[in-house]
Amino acid sequence: MFDGGGKMKIAIASDHAGFEMKEAIKNAFPEIEFVDFGTHNTESMDYPDTGFPAAKAVAEKQCEKGILICGSGIGMSITANKVKGIRAALCGNTDVARLSRLHNDANILVLAGRFTAIPYAIEITKVWLNTPFEGGRHLNRINKIQQGER
């Protein structure tokens, strides 16, 4: 299912609205080593407190990819995309998830805990994890994004 020997290491984090989905995703992919940045319950908290550390772990190559979840997915997307080297994509369906990897080499998947059914979120995650970056003409665009970060 994944390349590169050993377990794929994925940073995962949520706020209170995404906690249940985060736990379901971790349970759905036992072949993955998840580094859980929290939250660890449904008590109200602020998504940047878990989103920034998870995104930094991906940017610093401590984890191969990341999955972030908040109520709408918007807060986590904004948070993650503030970290240099992160290309976080809010994906509400499997087609967008596939394209975010093929064309944009997204390194963080963002999900909407209040707007996506958990079984479908698991399907979105599966497609996202198993779709490689296509490269080619898309690499030039990724390079331009990286230039813009400097």
| CATH number (domain holding residue 14) | 3.40.1400.10
14 is a domain residue: yes
What are the beta bridge partners of residue 67? 12, 109
Q: What is the pLDDT of residues 119-132, one digit of tens each?
A: 999 999 999 999 99
Domain limits for position 131:
8-149
% residues pLDDT > 90 (the chain): 89
Query: Does 63 qualify as catalytic in the annotation?
Result: no
Neighbours of 29 (CB within 10 A): 20
Annotated binding site for D-ribulose 5-phosphate: 15-16, 71-75, 104, 114, 137, 141
**5 pLDDT tier (thresholds 50, 70, 90):** low
Average pLDDT, the chain: 95
pLDDT at 2 over 60: no
Q: Is residue 2 included in any domain, yes or no? A: no
Say if 21 falls within a structural domain. yes
Annotated catalytic residue 103: yes
Cα 83 from Cα 59, distance rounded (Å)? 7
Does residue 26 form part of some domain? yes
> Helix, strand, or coil here: 104?
coil
Mean pLDDT of the 46-68 span? 98
What is residue 136's DSSP assignment? T
Structural domain tally of the chain?
1
